[in-house]
Structure 1
Amino acid sequence: MSGPGVRARLESVLQGQGTFVTTGHQPILLLGPLYVLYKALTAISLAAQLEQTFGAPVVPLFWIASDDHDWDEVGSTTILDRSDATRTLALPVPAGGERKSVGSHILDGPGLDVLDALPDIVPESEFTAHYLKLIRDAYAEGHRVSEAFARFLAGVLGDRGYAWIDSARPELCRAAAPLYRRLLSDWDGVVEAEAAGARALEAAGFDAPISRVEDALPLFFDEGGGRHRVRRGGAVPLEGWRERLEAAPEGFSPNVASRPALESYLLPVAATVLGPGEIAYWSQLPPLFGALDIPLPSVHPRAAWTLVEARTRRILERTGLSPQDLAAGAEPIVERLTREARPEAVKRAFGHFREDAETGMAGIEAAVADNLPGLRGAVGKMRKGILDAASELSRQVDRATRERLDVRLGQVRRAGANLFPRRRPQERVLNPLSFLCRYGPGLVERLAHETDRQVASFLAGRAEDG
């Protein structure tokens, strides 16, 4: 829990006198991309505003999906370094742990060596030491990956009155066992509900985002060697799965389809905060919620921001660009600026030359075709040689122009790397650490304030829509 007042409110909700607003993510290294932070801030804001509306406690809850086994995603993060270049840090995958749940992995010294590079990567400011200490305290030897994530998230968000839950905790797994029994007892009904969700989307003209595994439940089992889908017709019969559930409920965990249902099965969830991809796959889930007799919570989109720093804004203003102009990367802009910066006399001369060359070559080709047709090949080579030479000279002109524009083009490239790294939205690639080190807790305050405004506007729009 985070914040002194959240415990009492949490106890009220658990006693049936309130509700939750949930969001969540895998315990990705150092909080992962910016959008993870945006999800948490949206849930906190939405809970506060719904609490005012309902007049009863509404607690924001971050569901740490530590039963996930995607080490490639969870174990790495991309940070913008001091030169605005992207640097990816990755924890080593534990030997034999490729399919094991990541959240329960215990951090050790050798695995944490990757974080030693952080002081040389992040910007230096009055805030840097604070955030590096938060990381050292959170990602300490002996901590679980999910515990490190929760500690660092708490350090970044501060006392904002939210709670979190670790999905891999044995207590939660045991509490989930009755839902898993329900899945096993109505295997055909559950499989059909998943298929119905996919058919409904496809009938509406959309692809079903959750791929189905033939005759498999939306459920995983890990007997120590890694997570695998619970399937019928394999080495384990239905009765065998039931026996395993009774003997070791901690070995079972939900998949992407059943995890949302599990949240609402265990907790009174009024609303959940989702990103665009999650909203897409949630649209496939109503039949599954119905088959399990679980209420479907309201869906609220997370906030989405692009952090435009003052130095980046100045570059945009000087070049007449908007952030969206760099969505395809900086190079198209670099090429345009280079063309525009060519000396006007050189551009005119090239244009006249090409026009004259085309006219002259057309005349030569016509004359040769009428009088010396055997030389057509030689004329073609001549045309190609002239145009190739012109193209090479044009490239040299561009290189010379770029050298004159070197500083300006470098700034455009830095702006592109900041706003759309790897041609993807900033929030989906960049870790918040560099921005936090540069601007400190004030950045989170500003984001929280803007998120409050966005959530209020969304709720007002819903009210107007009835």
Structure 2
Amino acid sequence: MLEYIPYGKTGYFNQLVTDFLAEHPQIRPFYTYSPVHPDFAAAIQARQNFDTPRTALVAALEAQYAALESVKAVKDNIAALLQPTTFTVCTAHQPNIFTGYLYFAYKILQTIKLCTTLKQEFPQHNFVPVYYMGSEDADLEELGSIYLDGKTLTWNTPQQGAVGRMQPEGLEVMLAEIKKGLGYAPHAEELMALLQKAYLEHKNIQEATLYLVDALFGRFGLVVLVPDSPALKRLYLPVIKDELFHQASHAIVNDTLEKLTTHYKMQANPREINLFYLQDGMRERIVQEGDQWKVLHTSLTFTAASLEAELEAHPERFSPNVILRGMFQETILPNIAFIGGGGEIAYWLELQQLFAHYKVPFPILLLRNSLLLTDEVSRQRMHKLGITTAELFKTTEDIVNDYVKQHTNASLVLKDEYAAIEHLFDALEEKARSIDITLVATTGSERKKALKSIGKLEHKFLRAEKKKFAWQTDQIRQIKNKLFPAGSLQERKENLLPWYAAEGPAFFDRVLAAITPVTDQFTVLDVPNE
């Protein structure tokens, strides 16, 4: 069974996201295509007019996949990218260990589903789903933990720099914890074997992630692109050089940012140079000081000539930050649509003018699907209590309070009493005004105290009444903790491993069937008991 709730009514999405989906006039100028009724034909046309480096792209992908025994669907899709009638739909995500959060799978499955839908709409074209791995991200604190069985498991490693380049040493400890957490679920054994092969038999995290994602999603034809590649970075050298020597992006994006920040709090701020210098164990910003370029927190410095020589010899050492990453992706892929979360959409909205400056087609931006997976036990409890799915999105205390107010025989909301106080003090204020105008302020102060006292009584009445509903309120808390762990959306906290251990590949098929590639609705999906 499926239920849908508008994103704006869940309370878990900010104003920027809801305005983006509503195509609010104050945000609409910052993206090219409607996110709910996108013109795919126009996006395809724009991409056809751009010279995508297909031969170099396919050669780089074939090199990345050389050590993998990929299924035919993946090989066919890589080969198809040589054809001018083939386009990609892309999602991007860092190589979180053990896949990180549930929404990692949702983004990929939505990308796959959209390609299937587009093929039906445009049979003369081919559409390849791509997972662009943000392997140069250095935020180990974010990428190195998973939440499983009510606990946060963390990879303790002293390594620094790009997480994708880190060696997967010390992960045996986490694997043992995961095995314990998955228990004897029907598919736990095969999943553990897959995780051990991925993380214990590959030299770094990006290769482990490539193997794991290919093993999980390869049957759908998903192509994984690892941008940490000399061949792919070479395709972006004109922009990298321009950034280092002319720094155009800073002024362009700042101009957009000034307009956006009058309405929204934005999270990505451009720097003078939006590039990092990347080596194993190190990822540091590049800054220009006079006629020299320095790598912060290191002794590395370059002149214009030595910097140009470094670029030509080692393009892989230059890593675009969030401002330049999207355009790198769109330069090397024949991409027409990008699927991202709210945070990603926010920074993409800063980039349209930068794309125009470099004459790169701006893709259709689509908000990724959000899903809540509900289990049978929780559904039975909700039915017994008479709680709807939409109500679950309120805070636990609001749900409990509403339940008690609906089912109590006592009058807990003191509306009449508030009205009586207001009426009494209106009369007292009138009397005060006739005696001495200075007494009006004193009367007003006493009114506030009286209303505050009524509020305290109302709170105490509710608290006392809750005790009569102890069983029901406990059930509500259990449901809420199960479906919204730590008060968060399930997809932003839980890992997919226990779901996959319970159902195996059928879990992805179930989610894939529930996904709507283009939507402004949050999806609630019933799944079998774990």
TM-score (norm: length of structure 2): 0.68
Classify 1:243/1:197 alpha carbon distance in 2 versus 1 (closer, same or farther; 3 Å).
farther
Contact kept in structure 1, 2:89 and 2:338, CA below 8 Å: yes
Q: Does 1:92 align with 2:151?
A: no
Q: Does 1:227 align with 2:289?
A: no
Match of 1:38 in 2: 106
Q: Structure 2: which 5+ runs fail to align?
A: 1-64, 295-300, 418-453, 521-530
Classify 1:153/1:133 alpha carbon distance in 2 versus 1 (closer, same or farther; 3 Å).
same
Once the two structures are TM-superposed, the CA of residue 305 in structure 1 deviates from its matched residue by 1.2
Q: Does 1:201 align with 2:260?
A: yes
Contact kept in structure 1, 2:366 and 2:518, CA below 8 Å: no
Q: Does 1:62 align with 2:131?
A: yes
Tell me, in whole angstroms, the C-alpha distance in 1 between the residues paired with 2:395 and 2:179. Answer: 28
Contact kept in structure 1, 2:277 and 2:318, CA below 8 Å: yes
Contact kept in structure 2, 1:327 and 1:423, CA below 8 Å: no
Once the two structures are TM-superposed, the CA of residue 47 in structure 1 deviates from its matched residue by 1.5
Tell me, in whole angstroms, the C-alpha distance in 2 between the residues paired with 1:297 and 1:400. Answer: 55
Classify 1:93/1:121 alpha carbon distance in 2 versus 1 (closer, same or farther; 3 Å).
same
Once the two structures are TM-superposed, the CA of residue 158 in structure 1 deviates from its matched residue by 4.9
Q: Does 1:20 align with 2:84?
A: no
Once the two structures are TM-superposed, the CA of residue 339 in structure 1 deviates from its matched residue by 7.3
Tell me, in whole angstroms, the C-alpha distance in 1 between the residues paired with 2:139 and 2:518. Answer: 35
Q: Does 1:288 align with 2:354?
A: yes
Q: Structure 1: which 5+ runs fail to align?
A: 355-386, 459-466
Once the two structures are TM-superposed, the CA of residue 456 in structure 1 deviates from its matched residue by 6.7
Once the two structures are TM-superposed, the CA of residue 55 in structure 1 deviates from its matched residue by 1.4
Tell me, in whole angstroms, the C-alpha distance in 2 between the residues paired with 1:179 and 1:5. Answer: 33
Match of 1:306 in 2: 372
Match of 2:188 in 1: 128
Considering fraction of residues, name the structure with more helix.
1
Q: Does 1:418 align with 2:482?
A: yes
Contact kept in structure 1, 2:267 and 2:346, CA below 8 Å: yes
1:262 to 314, 328, 343: 328
Contact kept in structure 2, 1:123 and 1:438, CA below 8 Å: no
SS of 2:224 mapped into structure 1:
strand
Contact kept in structure 2, 1:21 and 1:47, CA below 8 Å: yes
Once the two structures are TM-superposed, the CA of residue 8 in structure 1 deviates from its matched residue by 2.8
2:166 to 105, 112, 136: 105
Paired letter, 2:517:
V
Once the two structures are TM-superposed, the CA of residue 297 in structure 1 deviates from its matched residue by 1.6
SS of 1:290 mapped into structure 2:
helix
Matches for 1:307-322 after TM superposition, within 5 Å: 307-322=373-388
1:218 to 274, 277, 280: 274
Q: C-alpha offsets along residues 245-304 of structure 1, whole Å, 9 cap, x if unaligned?
A: 223222111111111100111121121112222112111101111222211122222222
Paired letter, 1:154:
D
Tell me, in whole angstroms, the C-alpha distance in 1 between the residues paired with 2:256 and 2:348. Answer: 10
2:144 to 62, 75, 92: 75
Once the two structures are TM-superposed, the CA of residue 25 in structure 1 deviates from its matched residue by 0.1
SS of 2:284 mapped into structure 1:
strand
Paired letter, 2:72:
P
Tell me, in whole angstroms, the C-alpha distance in 1 between the residues paired with 2:321 and 2:199. Answer: 27
CA RMSD of aligned residues (A): 3.4
Once the two structures are TM-superposed, the CA of residue 28 in structure 1 deviates from its matched residue by 0.5
Contact kept in structure 1, 2:230 and 2:314, CA below 8 Å: no
Classify 1:249/1:422 alpha carbon distance in 2 versus 1 (closer, same or farther; 3 Å).
same
Tell me, in whole angstroms, the C-alpha distance in 2 between the residues paired with 1:409 and 1:128. Answer: 34
Classify 1:185/1:293 alpha carbon distance in 2 versus 1 (closer, same or farther; 3 Å).
farther
1:436 to 477, 500, 511: 500
Paired letter, 1:104:
R
Paired letter, 1:151:
Y
Classify 1:339/1:206 alpha carbon distance in 2 versus 1 (closer, same or farther; 3 Å).
closer
TM-score (norm: length of structure 1): 0.77
Tell me, in whole angstroms, the C-alpha distance in 2 between the residues paired with 1:261 and 1:410. Answer: 50
Once the two structures are TM-superposed, the CA of residue 417 in structure 1 deviates from its matched residue by 2.0
Classify 1:439/1:112 alpha carbon distance in 2 versus 1 (closer, same or farther; 3 Å).
same
Contact kept in structure 1, 2:171 and 2:199, CA below 8 Å: no
SS of 1:78 mapped into structure 2:
strand
Once the two structures are TM-superposed, the CA of residue 71 in structure 1 deviates from its matched residue by 0.3
SS of 1:314 mapped into structure 2:
helix
Matches for 1:134-145 after TM superposition, within 5 Å: 134-145=194-205
Paired letter, 2:385:
T
Once the two structures are TM-superposed, the CA of residue 89 in structure 1 deviates from its matched residue by 1.2
SS of 2:507 mapped into structure 1:
helix
Once the two structures are TM-superposed, the CA of residue 156 in structure 1 deviates from its matched residue by 3.1
Contact kept in structure 2, 1:182 and 1:292, CA below 8 Å: no
Classify 1:127/1:294 alpha carbon distance in 2 versus 1 (closer, same or farther; 3 Å).
same
SS of 1:27 mapped into structure 2:
coil
Contact kept in structure 1, 2:214 and 2:224, CA below 8 Å: no
Who wins on radius of gyration, i.e. which is larger?
Answer: 1
Classify 1:194/1:316 alpha carbon distance in 2 versus 1 (closer, same or farther; 3 Å).
same
Contact kept in structure 2, 1:34 and 1:429, CA below 8 Å: yes
Tell me, in whole angstroms, the C-alpha distance in 1 between the residues paired with 2:478 and 2:206. Answer: 33
Q: C-alpha offsets along residues 30-73 of structure 1, whole Å, 9 cap, x if unaligned?
A: 11111111110111111222233151221111001101101011
Matches for 1:149-168 after TM superposition, within 5 Å: 149-168=209-228
Match of 2:449 in 1: none
2:393 to 327, 341, 356: 327
SS of 2:512 mapped into structure 1:
helix
Once the two structures are TM-superposed, the CA of residue 328 in structure 1 deviates from its matched residue by 4.5
Classify 1:13/1:154 alpha carbon distance in 2 versus 1 (closer, same or farther; 3 Å).
closer
Q: Does 1:177 align with 2:237?
A: yes
Match of 1:11 in 2: 79
Tell me, in whole angstroms, the C-alpha distance in 2 between the residues paired with 1:304 and 1:298. Answer: 18
Match of 2:26 in 1: none
Tell me, in whole angstroms, the C-alpha distance in 1 between the residues paired with 2:285 and 2:463. Answer: 59
The number of equivalent residue pairs is 406
Match of 1:365 in 2: none
Match of 2:517 in 1: 455
> Runs of 4 or more off by more than 6 Å in structure 1?
338-342, 393-400
Contact kept in structure 1, 2:136 and 2:319, CA below 8 Å: yes
Match of 1:363 in 2: none
Contact kept in structure 2, 1:3 and 1:162, CA below 8 Å: no
Tell me, in whole angstroms, the C-alpha distance in 1 between the residues paired with 2:323 and 2:285. Answer: 12
Q: C-alpha offsets along residues 171-212 of structure 1, whole Å, 9 cap, x if unaligned?
A: 33344334312322432x222112122123235x23333123
